[in-house]
Structure 1
Amino acid sequence: MTENEDQRLFESQMELLREGYREKLGQQMDKMTGLLENLEKSLDPLPALETLGHELHKIAGGAGIFGMPELGKKARTLEIQMKGIRERAALGQEVPVSELRTAIGALHVPESLPDPEAPLTSPLPERSSGKAGAGDVEEPGLLIIDPDDKRGRELVLALRYFGYIPKHCAKLSSAAALFPQRPPHAILLSLSASENFFSVTALAEEIREVFPQPPPLMVLSDSLDFSTRLAVARAGGQGFFIRPLDVPKVVDRLEQLIGRREMAPYRVLIVDDEPMVAEHFCLVLQAAGMEVQREEDAARVLDMLSTFRPELILMDVHMEGCSGTELAGIIRMEEEWVGIPILYLSAESKMEEQIRALNSGGDDFLTKPVDDAYLVASVSAHVSRARRLAELMAKDSLTGLLKHIRIKEALEVEMSRSNRDGSTLCVVMLDLDHFKRVNDTWGHATGDRVIKALAHLLTRRLRRSDSIGRYGGEEFMAVLPGCTPEKAEILMEEIRKNLKTIEFHAKEEVFNVTCSIGIACSSLGSSPEEVLQAADQALYRAKEEGRDRICIR
């Protein structure tokens, strides 16, 4: 679908949901009227009062979301009064049924809903196709500004090995001609020993004149003094490196700044016993590009955590049978889910109640009705931080790739998703050929550089939705969701060939390395262990058949 078609579909879904909610409000009013009639006949009014309070809480939280803020406020006021009535009834005092009937009758449900404002304050994000292919990743263009021609050419060559397309010029005045169609993805500004921080400031101003929307700027310098660093920061620099350059570190920073690979969608679980409110939040978050599932029954949430493996839980506080704070306590008992962000959503406006909820396992509290754009921003911020922290804890220190146990967990997550939606995924095992010879001949420091080079090639070529891990030593593993064996082979063949072209320098010698690759594809109902074993067998066959090749199982 096009962006406009996505927007129209989203708006039509929301309109149907709003109309459905208005009809359900009528049913809720009928239910409360029936409860009031039972109150007059019942010897124990507490169960009916409890249900009345819960229905009012639902209206207080949902009415504003669906364009009826005044109704929501009235329901919230009556909900608070209901708590006092329930407390007095528990002490044996008479329930003022006629007053309740008048108050509930004043909760007027409009015949039609007003036209709502746009649910999101920004256009819907572009959706990824989720398919891997040789042409899916745009090779990033880099501008290298260095008056030293030899030094500039050397950096161009070094970055080409990692899949970049660098262009070098001695002066910024030549840059526009090198990038006539669109600006570069990043600029590497090289300062000589004679240039000082005034040069950085002046060049940054010139960059803005050449590129009105300047790309990320990284500065390469001979100087480590604070004044130069401060000038780079004031000029908007986002990277600072001292010569002689550690090119893999430069590539690390470029990967962070350019963000070329596709971001895996945030996974959010909504727990709310009000289906239409939950569906509203679900549509809003899905429209923002997130993967969302919802659950009404608290007893099924732990199973949902195991199968869906969300990165954040959006949970109502007041739910029948099991409150949000009680459910949070149950979730926090499980070691695996101690750190998952839990955002409470509730019409509860009392600060002391919100604080009590936060002290019961929550990370934040959003008051219903919550603005849709604010909801998206809050969820995104929490998941982004949680994902970054998880990445730091889960990644191998040398390569920045997932550790052994984490890449296997990623396979389990993607296999669950694959079996749910009927899609396929590929598992790739890679192993550097004769790596012991590299360590024995040129030392472990050089061996580490070789391992990092392959890690960068994998990171550069694959999508963010793909998971890449260092399986052990010189062995790597990649999980490619939504990918066929044919496309996986195209991707891996390019990586295999690129690795062979990289020249490694050690002890005044130059050498090259190769790798062997095994690929296996999942089938509906297959287990992670079966696919992983098949990929490992394919890798073993590639080794047996002479190395430096790809085998598919």
Structure 2
Amino acid sequence: MSKGDTAANTLQQHLQQLSDAFALRLQEELPALGQSAERLLQTADPQEQVQQLQSLRDQLHKLAGTAGTFGFSSLGQRARELELDADQWLHTLQQEQQGLQAFSHSLQLLAKQEFQSDPKQMPAPQKAPLTKPMQSTRRIYILEDQLAIGENMRQTLNNFGYQAEHFSRIAELDAALQQQLPDALIVDVNLPDESLTGLQYAAGLQERLAEPLPLLVITTQNDFATHLEAVRVGAMGFFTKPVDIPQLENRLERCFSQQQGEPYRVLVIDDDRELASRFSLILRGANMRVEMLYEPAEIFARMRDFNPEVILLDVNMPDCTGPELAQIIRMNDEWLRVPIIYLSAETDINRQMSALIKAGDDFVTKPISDNALVAAVFSRAQRARLLSNALSRDSLTGLLKHADIKEQAAVELERALRSGKPASVGMLDIDFFKKVNDNYGHAAGDNVIRALANLLRQRLRRIDSLGRYGGEEFLVVLPDCTAEQAWGVLDEIRQRFAELTFIASGSEFSVTLSAGVASTADTSNSASELLEKADQALYAAKHGGRNQVR
């Protein structure tokens, strides 16, 4: 017998041993399931019935998954059928308990809607979160019983462009909440002078609100139980003391960008035009930007022009199959981050796995409900954008990294030359930044860098591009903007930055910046030349006395 045969036999023996052990487990678990079912029939309390049925459903779900793995396929199938039955009964029981509340809520929704067509013929898909209008200043409430920590956090967040307020007692925060709700809440877990912990208070508050607030947690307890409790009350960030405030602010910015970011871009590729159109309508109804592609040969141009964040791809297409097209897409390194979701009526798991192994990230089986389609695409798009930002953006400032902002400068220069419209770039550098690090520490230096990054983000337009060019140096790219206009904008930012007051080691200090501007009117067709001229202007500002724009 060969070594390969021996290894295969050994593996088979181990698998059989596991199956035998599972069979022994079944001798205990199946009777226990039967006993649980009997207790369910004897229970009169509806709430307790729901809890017991939820437990039974979870056990059946686990059994359905494991039984087939260990070779008990018929048992697994039967467990799956009973799991579905349990879901239906659970839904019925919950409906009976919540029917009046649901009915009242439905009437309220009905009163707010105007139907122009028969809703039975045109069901509305469940929508993903809609973007909110941009706000000039975000209001942040901080619950922190230690005065020095809370005030330092308040001052730093105000420097970052927020309107932060600090409260040391729950009663003070409650009074402020009665007057105006914040855009986000930062809560300390440890409140020794209160009857509630910060997380207990936050849990009660979130239940009272019609829409939960973005919640960040700060604490001295970096254990699993505290993390778990924070997740259960809906926390979107967890920070241990001493808190890295730039990192905390970065998480705040991420929370807000998820709420009101640009619509996700989805490319639907399907040779069935009617079906692609329907998918497009559903996704657009969920506030996504959608383009359709029927000819695979057009993929390169569409990927470059549209830059999709998710690709919805049919498997069976003539001339070029979905997996083949997915492999073509994956050959381009620029598109490796884009998730590919296959759409197909194929139910054979081996064929599905084969398609995913070649290239792809998910497999959705047709027919698919509208809600399921939105959920599948939205979750993938959300994750893809977070990953893309993490890879292309500086971790401290959230701005583009050196290579990405240089590339954006080249793109805007090319666009300006085509359109004949002006474009400008600005180089900004913090004056005497080394002294800040030497005198106040690197944490204070990070706060200064983050404050300037946020000031740029708030003052500049959505079409402008911002990047961290070096340690304390920034590059801004301003389309459709003359050198004189760019000078005016950057000089205003220079003045506002000089007015900020930073606190570190019990001392207050201020910082200034210098900047250089260049425009397409000053160069030929070279992005590197444009950047070089801006850098020379910055050098002149530095050697001309600093705290100025040249």
Counterparts in 2 of 1:508 and 1:193: CA distance versus 1, 3 Å: same
2:394 to 381, 387, 396: 396
Aligned to 1:294: 292
Q: Provide the residue aligned with 2:333 in structure 1.
A: 335
Indicate whether 1:429 and 2:434 are aligned: no
Pairwise mapping of residues 217-366 of structure 1 onto structure 2 (< 5 A)?
217-222=215-220, 232-259=230-257, 262-366=260-364
Q: Separation in 2 of the partners of 1:415 and 1:261? A: 32
Structure with greater helix share of residues = 2
- Map residues 495-510 of structure 1 onto 2, 5 A cutoff: 495-504=493-502, 510=508
Map 1:77-476 onto structure 2 (within 5 A).
116-122=121-127, 125-126=130-131, 136-147=134-145, 152-180=150-178, 182-190=180-188, 194-195=192-193, 198-200=196-198, 202-204=200-202, 207-208=205-206, 211=209, 213-222=211-220, 232-259=230-257, 262-410=260-408, 427-438=425-436, 447-458=445-456, 467-476=465-474
Q: CA deviation at 1:216?
A: 3.1
Aligned to 1:512: 510
C-alpha spacing 1:375/1:442, structure 2 compared with 1 (3 Å): same
Say if 1:261 and 1:462, in contact at 8 Å, map to a contact too. Answer: no
Q: CA deviation at 1:160?
A: 1.4
Taking the aligned partners of 2:507 and 2:132, their CA distance within structure 1 comes to 47
Aligned partner letter, 2:314: D
- Structure 1 vs Structure 2 CA RMSD: 4.5
Report the TM-score when normalising by structure 2: 0.63
| Structure 2 letter corresponding to 1:264 | E
Q: How many residues align?
A: 431
Q: SS at the partner of 1:315?
A: strand
Higher normalized contact order (CA 8 Å, seq sep 6+, divided by chain length): 1
Structure 1 window deviating more from structure 2 (174-183 vs 318-327): it is: 174-183
Instruction: Say whether the 8 Å CA contact 2:512–2:547 is kept in structure 1.
Output: yes
User: In the aligned structure 1, how far is the partner of 2:314 from the partner of 2:505?
Assistant: 63
Displacement of 1:436: 4.4
5+ residue gaps, structure 1, are 1-112, 129-135
Contact 1:262 1:464 in 2 (8 A): no
Q: Does the CA-based 8 Å contact 1:316-1:345 persist in structure 2?
A: yes
Does the 8 Å contact 1:200/1:235 carry over to 2?
Answer: no
Tell me, in whole angstroms, the C-alpha distance in 1 between the residues paired with 2:503 and 2:173.
31
**Hey, what does 2:547 align to over in structure 1?**
548
Partner SS, residue 391 of structure 1: helix
Does the aligned pair in 2 maintain the 1:142–1:187 contact within 8 Å?
yes
Q: Secondary structure at the match of 2:155?
A: helix
Does structure 1 retain, via aligned residues, the 8 Å contact 2:132–2:260? no
- Do the aligned partners of residues 517 and 369 (structure 1) sit closer, same or farther apart at CA in structure 2, a change above 3 Å counting? farther
- Match for 1:278: what amino acid? A
Shift of 1:527: 8.2
**Contact 1:426–1:488 (Cα < 8 Å) also in 2:** yes
**TM-score normalised to the size of structure 1?**
0.63
Counterpart-to-counterpart distance in 2, 1:191 and 1:359 = 45
Contact 1:193 1:222 in 2 (8 A): no
Q: Which amino acid aligns with 2:317?
A: M
Query: What is the deviation of 1:174?
Result: 3.5
Relative to 1, partners in 2 of residues 1:207 and 1:421: Cα closer, same or farther, differing over 3 Å? farther
Higher mean alpha-carbon deviation, 343-352 vs 439-448, is at 439-448
Q: Distance in 1 between matches of 2:253 and 2:436?
A: 27
CA deviation after TM superposition for structure 1 residue 275, in Å? 3.9
Query: Which residue of 2 is the match for residue 33 of structure 1?
Result: none
SS of alignment partner, residue 184 of structure 1:
coil
In structure 2, the residue corresponding to 1:187 is in which secondary structure?
strand
SS in 1 for 2:261: coil
1:251: Cα distance to partner?
A: 1.9
1:161 Cα deviation after fit: 1.3
Alpha-carbon distance in structure 2 between the residues aligned to 1:520 and 1:347: 56
- Letter of the structure 2 residue corresponding to residue 121 of structure 1: Q
- Gapped runs of 5+ residues in structure 2? 1-117
Alpha-carbon separation, structure 1, partners of 2:505 and 2:141: 31
Maintained 8 Å contact 1:263/1:463: no
Deviations 1:296-355 (A, max 9, x none): 332231233334332222222333332222222222223333443222233445444433
1:294 maps to a residue whose letter is M
State the secondary structure of the residue aligned to 2:197.
helix
Equivalent AA in structure 2 for residue 548 of structure 1: N
% same residue:
41
- CA–CA distance in structure 1, aligned partners of residues 258 and 127 of structure 2: 22
Q: 1:348 to 1:496 in 2, by over 3 A?
A: same
- Name the CA distance, whole Å, in 2 between partners of 1:531 and 1:188: 43
The 8 Å contact of residues 197 and 231 in structure 1, kept in 2 or not, is answered as no
Quote the offset at 1:256 in angstroms: 3.0
Question: In 1, are the aligned partners of 2:156 and 2:502 still within 8 Å (CA)?
Answer: no
Distance 1:369 1:520, change over 3 A: farther
Secondary structure of 1:314 counterpart: strand
User: Structure 1 residue 126: deviation in Å?
Assistant: 4.9
Distance 1:388 1:298, change over 3 A: same
Partner of residue 103, structure 1: none
CA contact (8 A) 2:190 2:197 kept: no
Distance 2:366 2:190 in 1: 57
